[in-house]
């Protein structure tokens, strides 16, 4: 018998597209979407929507919301648009890439008017991703016109 604090139940994410509970799949399972082992995923097979879990998570906590092909593509585009700004911040301010990326996410959440705790790319929906891509691209265009303007607060 366990004594002490109660153990929280394992997360059971639901698909945002059909509402069905997602299943935890691993490499080698028939429904696993990748050829190589990318770690365990929460998967909704009918919608082909999935999300990874936090590294080293013993409770299989999902990284965010389940994403279908369109949302995965938008997230990849957002990462690609944001990463050059992150690398520029690392070079300019001498901070590490994790701190620069974290500040970038907080800046982006502020620009989008969403809760900074939700600022991670993993929790954005398709509309928010499209808005975020537009914000980052506009920032890049504005910055190219005025290179002396600081991007984010110092590390």
Q: For residue range 16-28, what is the model confidence (pLDDT) as tens digits? A: 999 999 999 998 8
| Segment 94-133, tens digit of pLDDT | 999 999 998 998 899 999 988 877 657 778 889 999 999 9
CB 86 within 8 A of CB 100: yes
Identify any residues that bridge with 116 across adjacent strands, giving them in sequence order.
none
Supply the pTM of this predicted model.
0.79
What's CA 135's distance to the chain center, in Å? Answer: 17
């Amino acid at each position: 018998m366990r004594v002490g604090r109660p153990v929280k139940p394992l997360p059971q994410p639901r698909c945002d597209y059909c509402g069905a509970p997602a299943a935890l799949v691993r490499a080698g399972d028939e429904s696993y979407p990748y050829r190589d082992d990318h770690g365990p995923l929460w998967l909704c097979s009918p919608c082909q929507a999935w999300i990874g879990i936090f590294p080293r998570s013993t409770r299989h906590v999902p990284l965010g919301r389940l994403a279908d092909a369109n949302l995965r593509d938008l997230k990849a585009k957002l990462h690609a648009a944001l990463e050059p700004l992150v690398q520029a911040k690392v070079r300019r301010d001498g901070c590490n890439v994790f701190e620069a990326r974290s500040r970038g996410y907080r800046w982006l959440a502020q620009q989008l008017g969403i809760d900074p705790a939700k600022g991670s790319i993993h929790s954005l929906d398709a509309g928010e991703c499209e808005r975020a891509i537009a914000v980052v691209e506009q920032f890049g265009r504005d910055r190219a016109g005025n290179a002396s303007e600081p991007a984010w607060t110092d590390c």
